[in-house]
């Protein structure tokens, strides 16, 4: 059967929530949803939700008192059941590590044991650091990202925060690039760029699982807006649940646009 689920796409980089009703195929009246976006030198923050269908009503409940662990080849981190909403992006968190974690290259494992009856697992690879060399600002108000492509993934995400007085606009896209490509361009015109006070340009190296998950959620959201678009099944790499467990590496360039007169092409180096 298909359930109408309230999906909140909340990414670790500080994105605003994208909230839409979408259809998720499900074979049961109860399932768990997990979102975990790990990055280096930050706390592990994970969302674990229990979805319960009661007749025609869906109840979405935070999962309490589960044993949640993230481990690598050398160490295991037990997460605390601490509930809060992150101020940066309004993302709901209910499991978190005590300290910032630095990850070595290798495989990360997630295990969630709930009341000795439900056991969820997932794996993700630690990606090497990404370097954003420069951004190119066009007079068309598009933005180009220049970087050195890594060998451990072909998947990237670009994110721009544009600040104008008390307002902020966010533009983000996911990309699958070929081996020779070292430039990404946000195709959407950022109208506020000419008048903005400042902007953050963020390049993220992401996994294929991350790319597939986010693409499927975006397509499902679009399918509810545009009837001609066919929704994908929501991609998941969590065993016995739905959601995403992944690692991402990021680099950022901040630009004070109040001191720049945008011309045909302006290059801002990191």
Q: Are residues 37 and 104 in the same domain?
A: yes
Using DSSP's 3-state secondary structure scheme, residue 258 falls into helix
Cα 15 vs. chain centroid, distance in angstroms? 8
Query: Of 241, 159, 175, which is closest to residue 210 (Cα–Cα)?
Result: 175
Assign residue 164 the CATH number of its domain.
2.60.40
Residue 114: how many CA atoms within 13 Å on its side-chain side? 18
- What mean pLDDT is predicted for residues 165-174? 86
Mean pLDDT of the chain: 82
Q: Are residues 136 and 119 in the same domain?
A: no
Lowest mean pLDDT of 83-97, 173-187, 252-266, name the range: 252-266
- Asked if 56 and 2 count as a contact pair (C-beta separation under 8 A), the reply is no
Q: If phi over 0 gives left and psi between -120 and 50 gives alpha, with beta otherwise, what is residue 106? A: left
Above 90 in pLDDT, residue 204?
yes
In this prediction, residue 56 has a pLDDT band, given cuts at 50, 70 and 90, of low
- Asked if 65 and 83 count as a contact pair (C-beta separation under 8 A), the reply is no
Using DSSP's 3-state secondary structure scheme, residue 58 falls into strand
Q: What is the pLDDT of residue 16?
A: 39
User: What is the DSSP pairing of strand 198-206 with strand 167-176?
Assistant: unpaired
Domain count, the chain: 2
Above 50 in pLDDT, residue 110?
yes
Above 90 in pLDDT, residue 251?
yes
In this prediction, residue 218 has a pLDDT band, given cuts at 50, 70 and 90, of confident
Q: Are residues 50 and 72 in the same domain?
A: yes
The DSSP symbol for 189 reads -
Higher pLDDT, 111 or 28: 111
- What mean pLDDT is predicted for residues 229-245? 84
Q: What is the pLDDT of residue 230?
A: 66
Q: Is the pTM of this model over 0.75?
A: yes
The DSSP symbol for 192 reads G
In this prediction, residue 51 has a pLDDT band, given cuts at 50, 70 and 90, of confident
Q: Are residues 215 and 256 in the same domain?
A: no
- Asked if 21 and 4 count as a contact pair (C-beta separation under 8 A), the reply is yes
Q: What is the pLDDT of residue 47?
A: 95
Write out the residue range of the structural domain in which residue 99 sits. Answer: 2-126+208-247
Q: Are residues 115 and 238 in the same domain?
A: yes
- What mean pLDDT is predicted for residues 162-187? 86
- What mean pLDDT is predicted for residues 116-141? 88
Task: Please name every residue paired with 3 in a beta bridge, in sequence order, or none if there are none.
Answer: 24
Q: What is the pLDDT of residue 265?
A: 72
User: Would you say the C-alpha torsion 69, 70, 76, 77 has a positive or negative sign?
Assistant: negative
Q: Are residues 179 and 75 in the same domain?
A: no
């Amino acid at each position: 059967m298909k359930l109408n689920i309230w999906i909140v796409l909340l990414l670790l980089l500080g994105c605003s929530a994208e909230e839409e009703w979408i259809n998720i195929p499900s074979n049961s009246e109860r399932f768990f949803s997990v979102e975990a976006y790990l990055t280096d030198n930050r706390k592990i923050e994970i969302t674990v939700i229990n979805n319960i269908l009661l007749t025609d009503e869906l109840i979405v409940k935070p999962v309490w008192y589960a044993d949640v662990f993230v481990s690598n080849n050398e160490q295991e981190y037990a997460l605390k059941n601490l509930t809060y909403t992150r101020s940066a992006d309004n993302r709901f968190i209910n499991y978190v590590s005590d300290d910032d974690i630095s990850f070595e290259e290798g495989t990360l494992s997630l295990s969630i044991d709930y009341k000795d009856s439900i056991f969820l697992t997932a794996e993700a690879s630690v990606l090497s650091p990404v370097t954003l060399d420069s951004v190119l600002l066009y007079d068309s108000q598009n933005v180009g990202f220049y970087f050195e492509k890594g060998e451990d993934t072909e998947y990237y995400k670009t994110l721009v925060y544009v600040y104008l007085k008390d307002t902020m606009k966010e533009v983000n896209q996911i990309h699958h690039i070929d081996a020779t490509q070292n430039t990404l361009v946000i195709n959407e015109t950022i109208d506020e760029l000419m008048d903005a006070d400042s902007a953050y340009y963020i390049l993220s190296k992401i996994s294929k699982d991350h790319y597939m998950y986010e693409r499927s959620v975006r397509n499902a959201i679009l399918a509810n807006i545009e009837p001609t678009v066919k929704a994908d099944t929501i991609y998941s790499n969590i065993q016995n649940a739905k959601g995403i467990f992944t690692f991402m590496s990021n680099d950022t360039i901040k630009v004070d646009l109040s001191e720049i007169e945008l011309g045909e092409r302006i290059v801002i180096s990191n």
